[in-house]
C-alpha cells in the first residue's frame, strides 16, 4: 500500500463520527427502506388478487390465488433481485399483457434494481465509516429494511381502511359475490405504487454522493481526488504528496477475482458468507411471505368467508404492522447498538440457535397453539378454536426478532468488511445473491405447502425453517 493510500485509509478509519456519517446512513438506508417495502408489500395484497381475478361462484367460498400464480407473483421479484445483485455487484467494482403477467414482469425488474442496491449500499457505508463504528453504521443502513417492512403493512392498513370507510359492502358469507370489485381493484395498485415515492427520492440523493475515498485511492489510485472528496464531506483535510497523488495500484496485490490467489486468500470466506446467507434467507423470506397463511391458520385473523375482501387485507396488514413494530424493527436496532460490543459471530450463532428453538416449538406444538376445527361452533368466525393465538404470535414474533438481532443483520455486515476494496462489492453481491437463491426456494417451494392454508402443510413448512 502506497503512502498516499495509507494516509487516506488512516484518516477515514480515525475520523470522528459526524453529520455526514448519519447523512450517508439515511441516504443508503433509504434504498433499503424502498427495497423492503417493494419486496414485502405484496404479502398483504395477494389474497385480494385471488378474490378479484380468480373468483369462482360455483365454489361458494373466497378463492385464493392458484399456488403457481401466487409463487410467481411473490417469487419473481426475488429472481430479479438475485440477478441484480450479481450484475450490480460486479458493476460496482468496475464503475463505482395480463394483470398477473404484467405484475410479474414489472416485479422482476423492480427486483433487479433492488438487487443492485444491496451490495452498493453496504459497500458505500463500509467505506465511509470509521473503524470504531463501522459495524453499527452498516447495521443502521440495513435496519431501514425493518422500517420498510413496517411501512408496507402500515400503508396497506391505511389504504384498505380508507376503502372500507368509503365503499361499505357485506361480508362474503352474506353476499356470495366479489364485494366492491371496481373499487377494490385500486387497493393493491395504490399499495404497490407508493413504493415509487421513496425510490425517486433515493435516486435524487444518491446522485449527490461522491465516490467513496477508499475506492478512489486504492482501486483508481487517485489519492489527491480521494482526499479532496473526503474533505468535502468529513471535515477532514489530508495532505497528499504530489509525487504519489496518482500512484498506480501495487501490482503484487492485483490478483484477479477467482484467481488461485483469490481463492487461497478469500475462497473460504466467500463460501462462509454465501452459505450462511443462503440458509438464513430460506427461513427469513418464507416467514415474511407466508404471514398471510400463518395468521389465518393460527386463528389470529378471522376466516375469509366472514369478511369482505378489503376487510381481509385490513386485518392481515394490521397484524403484519404489529409484528414489524414490536419484533422486526427492534431486532435490527438491537444489532445496531450491540454489534460493535458483541462479536459478529456470537450475534449470528446466537440468532440461528434461538430461531431454531422457537421454530421447533412452533412446529412440534403447532396443533396445541393453533387449536382444532372441531372446537368451533356452527357460526364461529374462526377456522380453528381452543388454541393459544396470543402465545403463537409471541413466539412467531420472537423468531423475527432473533432473525434480525442475529443472522439477517450479520450476513449483511460481514461481507462489507471482510473483502478487499476492489472485490468488496462483487463479493457482497455474490453473497447476497446466494441469499436470494435461498429466498427463491422459500417463495416457490415452502409456499407450495402453505398456500392452501392446510395446517399440516404449514406445520411441515415451519419444521423446514427449523432445519
Could you list the pLDDT tens digit for every one of the 467 residues in the chain? 555 556 655 665 666 767 777 877 887 788 778 878 877 777 777 777 777 776 666 565 556 667 667 766 666 666 766 666 566 555 555 544 455 556 666 667 666 766 666 667 777 777 777 777 888 888 998 899 899 989 989 999 999 899 888 877 666 666 555 544 567 778 888 888 888 888 888 777 777 766 665 666 555 566 666 666 666 666 656 565 554 445 454 544 567 888 888 888 889 999 999 999 998 988 888 777 777 777 766 666 777 777 777 888 888 888 889 889 999 999 999 999 999 898 889 999 999 999 989 988 888 888 788 777 777 777 777 777 777 888 888 898 999 999 999 999 999 899 888 888 778 888 888 898 888 888 888 777 766 666 555 566 666 666 665 65
Per-residue model confidence (pLDDT) at position 308: 78
User: DSSP of 303-317, one letter per residue?
Assistant: -GGGS-HHHHHHHHH
Per-residue model confidence (pLDDT) at position 402: 95
Under 8 Å CB-to-CB from 176, ≥6 apart: which residues? Answer: 57, 60
The owner of cell 498506480 is: 248
User: DSSP of 196-249, one letter per residue?
Assistant: HHHHHHHHHHHTTPPPPHHHHHHTS-BHHHHHHHHHHHH-------GGGTBPPP
Backbone dihedral angles phi then psi of residue 163, each to the nearest 5 degrees: -70, -35
Model pTM?
0.78
For β-strands 385-386 and 371-372, DSSP reports them as: antiparallel
Under 8 Å CB-to-CB from 463, ≥6 apart: which residues? Answer: 359, 360, 363, 364
Under 8 Å CB-to-CB from 320, ≥6 apart: which residues? Answer: 43, 44, 149, 152, 153, 156, 291
- Which helix H or strand E contains 372, and what residues bound it? strand 371-372
Q: Where are the domains of the chain?
A: 3-462
Torsion over CA: 220, 221, 222, 223 (sign): positive
- Report the C-alpha gap between 143 and 425 in whole angstroms: 19
Per-residue model confidence (pLDDT) at position 164: 84
Backbone dihedral angles phi then psi of residue 153, each to the nearest 5 degrees: -70, -40
CATH number of the domain located at residue range(s) 3-462 in this protein? 1.20.1250.20
Amino acid at each position: 500500500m502506497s503512502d498516499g493510500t495509507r494516509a487516506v485509509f488512516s484518516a477515514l478509519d480515525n475520523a470522528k463520527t459526524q453529520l455526514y456519517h448519519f447523512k450517508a446512513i439515511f441516504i443508503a438506508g433509504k434504498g433499503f427502506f424502498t427495497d423492503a417495502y417493494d419486496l414485502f408489500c405484496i404479502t398483504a395484497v395477494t389474497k385480494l388478487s385471488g378474490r378479484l381475478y380468480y373468483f369462482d361462484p360455483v365454489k361458494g367460498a373466497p378463492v385464493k390465488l392458484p399456488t403457481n400464480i401466487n409463487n410467481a407473483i411473490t417469487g419473481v421479484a426475488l429472481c430479479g433481485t438475485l440477478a441484480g445483485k450479481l450484475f450490480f455487484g460486479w458493476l460496482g467494482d468496475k464503475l463505482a399483457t395480463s394483470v398477473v403477467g404484467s405484475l410479474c414482469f414489472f416485479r422482476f425488474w423492480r427486483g433487479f434494481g433492488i438487487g443492485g442496491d444491496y451490495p452498493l449500499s453496504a459497500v458505500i457505508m463500509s467505506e465511509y465509516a470509521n473503524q470504531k463504528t463501522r459495524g453499527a453504521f452498516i447495521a443502521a443502513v440495513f435496519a431501514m429494511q425493518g422500517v420498510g417492512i413496517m411501512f408496507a403493512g402500515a400503508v396497506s392498513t391505511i389504504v384498505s381502511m380508507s376503502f372500507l370507510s368509503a365503499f361499505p359492502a357485506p361480508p362474503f358469507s352474506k353476499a356470495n359475490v366479489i364485494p366492491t370489485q371496481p373499487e377494490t381493484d385500486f387497493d393493491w395498485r395504490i399499495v404497490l405504487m407508493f413504493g415509487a415515492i421513496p425510490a425517486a427520492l433515493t435516486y435524487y440523493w444518491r446522485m449527490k454522493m461522491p465516490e467513496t475515498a477508499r475506492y478512489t485511492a486504492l482501486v483508481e489510485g487517485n489519492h489527491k481526488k480521494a482526499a479532496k472528496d473526503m474533505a468535502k464531506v468529513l471535515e477532514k483535510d489530508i495532505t497528499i504528496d504530489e509525487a504519489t497523488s496518482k500512484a498506480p495500484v501495487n501490482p503484487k496485490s492485483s490478483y484477479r477475482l477467482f484467481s488461485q490467489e483469490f481463492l487461497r486468500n478469500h475462497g473460504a470466506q466467500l463460501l462462509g458468507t454465501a452459505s450462511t446467507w443462503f440458509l438464513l434467507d430460506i427461513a427469513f423470506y418464507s416467514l415474511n411471505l407466508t404471514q398471510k397463511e400463518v395468521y389465518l391458520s393460527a386463528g389470529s385473523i378471522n376466516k375469509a368467508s366472514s369478511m369482505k375482501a378489503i376487510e381481509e387485507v385490513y386485518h392481515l396488514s394490521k397484524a403484519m404492522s404489529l409484528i414489524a413494530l414490536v419484533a422486526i424493527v427492534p431486532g435490527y436496532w438491537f444489532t445496531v447498538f450491540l454489534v460493535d460490543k458483541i462479536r459478529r459471530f456470537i450475534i449470528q450463532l446466537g440468532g440461528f440457535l434461538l430461531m431454531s428453538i422457537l421454530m421447533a416449538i412452533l412446529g412440534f406444538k403447532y396443533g396445541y397453539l393453533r387449536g382444532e376445527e372441531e372446537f368451533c361452533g356452527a357460526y364461529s368466525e374462526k377456522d380453528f378454536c381452543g388454541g393459544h393465538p396470543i402465545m403463537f404470535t409471541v413466539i412467531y414474533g420472537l423468531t423475527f426478532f432473533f432473525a434480525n438481532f442475529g443472522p439477517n443483520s450479520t450476513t449483511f455486515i460481514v461481507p462489507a468488511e471482510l473483502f478487499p476494496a476492489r472485490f468488496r462489492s462483487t463479493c457482497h453481491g455474490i453473497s447476497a445473491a446466494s441469499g436470494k437463491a435461498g429466498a427463491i426456494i422459500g417463495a416457490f417451494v415452502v409456499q407450495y405447502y402453505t398456500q392452501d392454508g392446510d395446517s399440516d402443510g404449514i406445520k411441515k413448512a415451519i419444521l423446514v425453517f427449523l432445519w
